[in-house]
A and B are shown apart, each in its own frame.
Chain A
Amino acid sequence: MSVRRDGDLIRLEGACPVEEAETLAALLLARPGTAVEWSGCTGLHTAVVQVLVRLRPPLRGVCGDPFAARWLAPLLDVPDLS
């Protein structure tokens, strides 16, 4: 399972392929403001990134995917992207 609810968190684990975007969006829309823990994540499809960009959940941990940790985390950390 690469996107799952874990108590108060949504965990991204392993590689998160394109179809997980829908799961993630559904979980986030069901409980807006839920934090996403992504330290176990080893890769994100652009579609998944787009959900994070659009819905901007708080992020927990350092992404296990070095590219995302280096380049995407700073973009997702700022309050507004535009």
Chain B
Amino acid sequence: MTDDAPPPAALPLPDDLVAEFVAEARELVEAAAGDLLALDGSPDAGVVNRVFRAVHTLKGSAALFDWPAMLALLHAAEDGLAAARAGTVAAGPDLVDLSLAALDAVARWTEAIAATGALPPGAEAESARLAALYRTLLTPASGAAPDANPAGPAPDWAAALLADLGERPAGTLTALRYVPRADCFFSGDDPLGLVRRLRGLLALRLDPANPWPPLETLDVFACNLAVTLLTTDERPEVEAVFRLVPDQVTIATIATPAAPVETAPGPAPEMAVAPSRTLRVDAGRIDALVALADDLAAARADLGEVVARAGSGAGLVDLLPALRASDERIGRLSAELHREAMGLRLQPLARVFRRFPRALRDIARRLGKEVTLTLEGEETEIDRDVAEGLFEPLLHLLRNAVDHGIEPPAARETAGKPPAGRIVVGAESRADRVVVSVTDDGRGLDPALLRRRAAERGLMAPDALAALDEAGAIDLIFTPGFSTAASVGAVSGRGVGMDAVRAAVARLGGTCTVESRAGAGTAIRLSLPRARSLVRLLLVEVGPERYGLPMDAVVELARIPRARIRDLAPGAATVLRDRTVPVLHLADLLDLPRGPDGPRGGRSSEARLAVVRAGDERVAIEVDRFAGRADGLVRPLPALAAWPGLAGTTLSGDGRVLLVLDPEALVGREPGEGEARP
């Protein structure tokens, strides 16, 4: 489908898209509120990060609809949480309370949307109020501008307040002088009640409007106060609050020197792979599962008879045929059960793809580009978690394509292209994987430019850069720190680079490749597992611990004389099949003590190596023992337990929980290195 409708009228949004938003928002709000409550009292960077990601995801989803109040509030909340993540604002009770209030508002609006399809009346005012509160929260920390001289004229009556204001936020302030009429109490006014509604209040003075009359003639119901204040609320908000007393107020906008409100970009926000908690399932599939479970129970009953015969003294030879038949039958049924169960989790990619036309149109309009979007292969089915986790990376790729790929209309015509850029988001099945691609016909990536930028950023030594072939240079866009996207946009922005896209895709079990021809366009392909499937694992041991290594990452196993491992400058290495391969001990990678037989010299004369692929490199991981193979369904670790280098857990045959390693992440880091990136 294409998105070429020029008027800004809302695209028809399918009801189920709204329903999906409602379901997602309920989950995210609940999870984030729980996290916030946990945060109250014990600041924890991981929890702040989770709340941030929940809000970030919510914002991304809300941006697909025409709910500006919701979006504005989520944007403000995201700013506040981003500051807490960056440490410029304390993740203390103020932030927690405010964020809980914001989530509460979002929850109420979500229910209103579920009931009526629209935000409730008053949402706009509430959103503005809460957003202003977030700004206030951010003000003292981010407004560290030492320059106290106002750049704009401040009226005399505001000068004293302005001078008293120690720290000054960047941007404009609104000053207000409010002299209520003496009889205002009789008309029901509560002047300070109005002031109270300004959420960005920075300074306040109360002065007698006229000299106080002597106490003998005190009239408590005659108002003789003059209110002077400064606020970060913008002028229209202030005017709205005082709209009923316009004759009694004077409002001035004071320009203050612009100071960078955004601090240096923090660690690239991770693209969340939101855990799923609900799943809509076709009833027919449940029936099939129940039938399979019945068959399995019957097969087990047959096996029970064989066991009973063995118990009454039947010989093994007599029992063997029955045991074989039973094993075969149970094996077939469990495989079928597994396939059916996995099938429950599949959903067509259309559910993700159809959110894109609207998002793309907004992005294109904001950037002043003309773009048509074509969706292909929307019917392709994929695991629900994978589909959900794909939305953000794909949205980011789309934004990149519009921002950096598609040229402005005039430049396109000069290059002999149609003025409207063309972006294709496609999906196709390939064996047990699904390939999702984002292709544009824009200017393409220029290897020379990429090399230059990588050099400027010091991402790679100059000679290494020069040695890169064209494909290698194009691959530079995935290097952490390469992205320049520093602007904060409503859709994605916030400096999420291609490295974050690749990381998000890797967490889904996928890989990410790019192809580009200068002048002709760029294609980014994500290859993803269709379903969570049984993973073949190599079992390895270090000391008493046993771990699983996914077999598809293991290139070969080797036992070599220890003498063939040399200590080279950066570490140990050996030569295997004419290639020099670094050797890392698993114990070191996991920060475990080396096995009981002490330092390397005292170990057995043979080293056991599992050679794994890590990107284009091969790395040998030394282990104490190989302990066989196993099949397992790998479950990701909960976020709290996540540790770089661990892919998840699986149950081993004896019911023990086995930790499954992620070789690429494991060898990509030095032991003890945290998650922080510059």
Q: Smallest CB–CB gap between B7 and chain A, Å? A: 45
Partner of B192, one of A21, A22, A49, A82: A49
Q: CA separation between A13 and B208, bound complex, in Å?
A: 26
B residues in contact with A82, CB < 8 Å? 207-208
Q: CA separation between A47 and B189, bound complex, in Å?
A: 10
Q: CA separation between A49 and B221, bound complex, in Å?
A: 11
- Contact assessment for B204 and A46 in the assembled complex, using a CB-CB cutoff below 8 Å: no
- Contact assessment for B185 and A47 in the assembled complex, using a CB-CB cutoff below 8 Å: yes
Q: What is the interface of chain A, defined by CB distance below 8 A to chain B?
A: 18, 21-22, 24-25, 29, 44-47, 49-51, 53-55, 67, 71-72, 75, 81-82
- Contact assessment for A53 and B206 in the assembled complex, using a CB-CB cutoff below 8 Å: yes
B residues in contact with A46, CB < 8 Å? 180, 185, 189-193, 223, 225
Q: Smallest CB–CB gap between B209 and chain A, Å? A: 10
When A22-B220, A46-B193, A54-B218 are in contact, do A75 and B205 touch as well, CB less than 8 Å?
Answer: yes
A residues in contact with B193, CB < 8 Å? 45-46
A residues in contact with B224, CB < 8 Å? 50
A residues in contact with B223, CB < 8 Å? 46-47, 50
Partner of A47, one of B196, B204, B206, B221: B221
B residues in contact with A71, CB < 8 Å? 195, 201, 204
Q: CA separation between A22 and B190, bound complex, in Å?
A: 16
Partner of B220, one of A21, A75, A81: A21
Q: Which 3 A-B pairs have the closest CB atoms?
A: A21-B220, A46-B192, A46-B191
Q: CA separation between A25 and B532, bound complex, in Å?
A: 74
A residues in contact with B191, CB < 8 Å? 46
B residues in contact with A44, CB < 8 Å? 192
Q: CA separation between A25 and B218, bound complex, in Å?
A: 9
Q: CA separation between A31 and B215, bound complex, in Å?
A: 14
Q: Smallest CB–CB gap between B413 and chain A, Å? A: 59
B residues in contact with A54, CB < 8 Å? 212, 218
Query: Can you pick out 28 interface pairs between chain A and chain B where the beta carbons lie within 8 Å of each other?
Result: A18-B185, A18-B190, A18-B221, A21-B220, A22-B220, A24-B220, A25-B218, A25-B220, A29-B215, A29-B218, A45-B193, A46-B180, A46-B192, A46-B193, A46-B223, A47-B185, A47-B221, A47-B223, A49-B192, A50-B224, A50-B225, A51-B220, A53-B206, A53-B225, A55-B215, A71-B204, A81-B207, A82-B207
B residues in contact with A22, CB < 8 Å? 220-221
A residues in contact with B196, CB < 8 Å? 67
Q: What is the interface of chain B, defined by CB distance below 8 A to chain A?
A: 180, 185, 189-193, 195-196, 201, 204-208, 212, 215, 218, 220-221, 223-225
Instruction: Please name the residue on chain B nearest to A65 by beta carbon.
Output: B196
A residues in contact with B206, CB < 8 Å? 49, 53, 72, 75, 81
Give me 13 other A-B pairs in contact (C-beta within 8 A), A44-B192, A46-B223, A55-B215 excluded: A21-B220, A45-B190, A46-B189, A46-B225, A47-B220, A49-B206, A50-B223, A53-B208, A54-B218, A71-B204, A75-B204, A75-B206, A82-B208
A residues in contact with B207, CB < 8 Å? 81-82
A residues in contact with B205, CB < 8 Å? 75
B residues in contact with A51, CB < 8 Å? 220
Q: Smallest CB–CB gap between A47 and chain B, Å? A: 5
Q: CA separation between A71 and B196, bound complex, in Å?
A: 9
Instruction: Please name the residue on chain A nearest to B197 by beta carbon.
Output: A67
Instruction: Please name the residue on chain A nearest to B211 by beta carbon.
Output: A82
A residues in contact with B192, CB < 8 Å? 44-46, 49, 67, 72
B residues in contact with A47, CB < 8 Å? 185, 220-221, 223
Q: Smallest CB–CB gap between B95 and chain A, Å? A: 15
B residues in contact with A81, CB < 8 Å? 206-208
B residues in contact with A55, CB < 8 Å? 215
Q: CA separation between A48 and B103, bound complex, in Å?
A: 34
Q: CA separation between A55 and B201, bound complex, in Å?
A: 26
Instruction: Please name the residue on chain B nearest to A17 by beta carbon.
Output: B190
A residues in contact with B212, CB < 8 Å? 54
A residues in contact with B180, CB < 8 Å? 46
Q: CA separation between A29 and B217, bound complex, in Å?
A: 12
Q: Smallest CB–CB gap between A75 and chain B, Å? A: 5
Instruction: Please name the residue on chain A nearest to B191 by beta carbon.
Output: A46
B residues in contact with A72, CB < 8 Å? 192, 204, 206
Q: CA separation between A66 and B370, bound complex, in Å?
A: 51
Q: CA separation between A21 and B180, bound complex, in Å?
A: 17
Q: Smallest CB–CB gap between B137 and chain A, Å? A: 13
Q: Smallest CB–CB gap between B298 and chain A, Å? A: 67
Q: Smallest CB–CB gap between B78 and chain A, Å? A: 25
B residues in contact with A49, CB < 8 Å? 192, 206, 225
Q: CA separation between A50 and B212, bound complex, in Å?
A: 11
Q: Smallest CB–CB gap between A26 and chain B, Å? A: 9
Partner of A50, one of B189, B201, B220: B220
- Contact assessment for B221 and A21 in the assembled complex, using a CB-CB cutoff below 8 Å: yes
Q: CA separation between A25 and B191, bound complex, in Å?
A: 19
Q: CA separation between A72 and B223, bound complex, in Å?
A: 17
Q: CA separation between A71 and B221, bound complex, in Å?
A: 22
Q: Smallest CB–CB gap between A3 and chain B, Å? A: 12
Instruction: Please name the residue on chain A nearest to B196 by beta carbon.
Output: A67
Q: CA separation between A22 and B221, bound complex, in Å?
A: 8
Q: Smallest CB–CB gap between A46 and chain B, Å? A: 4
Q: Smallest CB–CB gap between B185 and chain A, Å? A: 5
Q: CA separation between A81 and B212, bound complex, in Å?
A: 11
Of A29, A53, A55, most B-chain CB atoms within 10 Å: A53
Of B205, B218, B220, most A-chain CB atoms within 10 Å: B220
Instruction: Please name the residue on chain B nearest to A23 by beta carbon.
Output: B220
Instruction: Please name the residue on chain B nearest to A22 by beta carbon.
Output: B220
Of B180, B206, B212, most A-chain CB atoms within 10 Å: B206
Q: Smallest CB–CB gap between A34 and chain B, Å? A: 15
Q: Smallest CB–CB gap between B99 and chain A, Å? A: 17
Q: CA separation between A49 and B544, bound complex, in Å?
A: 72
Q: CA separation between A24 and B218, bound complex, in Å?
A: 12
Q: CA separation between A45 and B195, bound complex, in Å?
A: 12
Instruction: Please name the residue on chain B nearest to A19 by beta carbon.
Output: B221
Q: CA separation between A53 and B215, bound complex, in Å?
A: 13
Q: CA separation between A6 and B82, bound complex, in Å?
A: 48
Q: Smallest CB–CB gap between A60 and chain B, Å? A: 20
A residues in contact with B221, CB < 8 Å? 18, 21-22, 47
Q: CA separation between A72 and B196, bound complex, in Å?
A: 11
Q: CA separation between A55 and B193, bound complex, in Å?
A: 21
Q: Smallest CB–CB gap between B270 and chain A, Å? A: 35
Q: CA separation between A75 and B201, bound complex, in Å?
A: 15
Instruction: Please name the residue on chain B nearest to A70 by beta carbon.
Output: B201
Q: Smallest CB–CB gap between A69 and chain B, Å? A: 12
Q: CA separation between A72 and B205, bound complex, in Å?
A: 9
Q: CA separation between A50 and B224, bound complex, in Å?
A: 8
A residues in contact with B189, CB < 8 Å? 46
B residues in contact with A50, CB < 8 Å? 220, 223-225
Q: Smallest CB–CB gap between B552 and chain A, Å? A: 58
B residues in contact with A29, CB < 8 Å? 215, 218
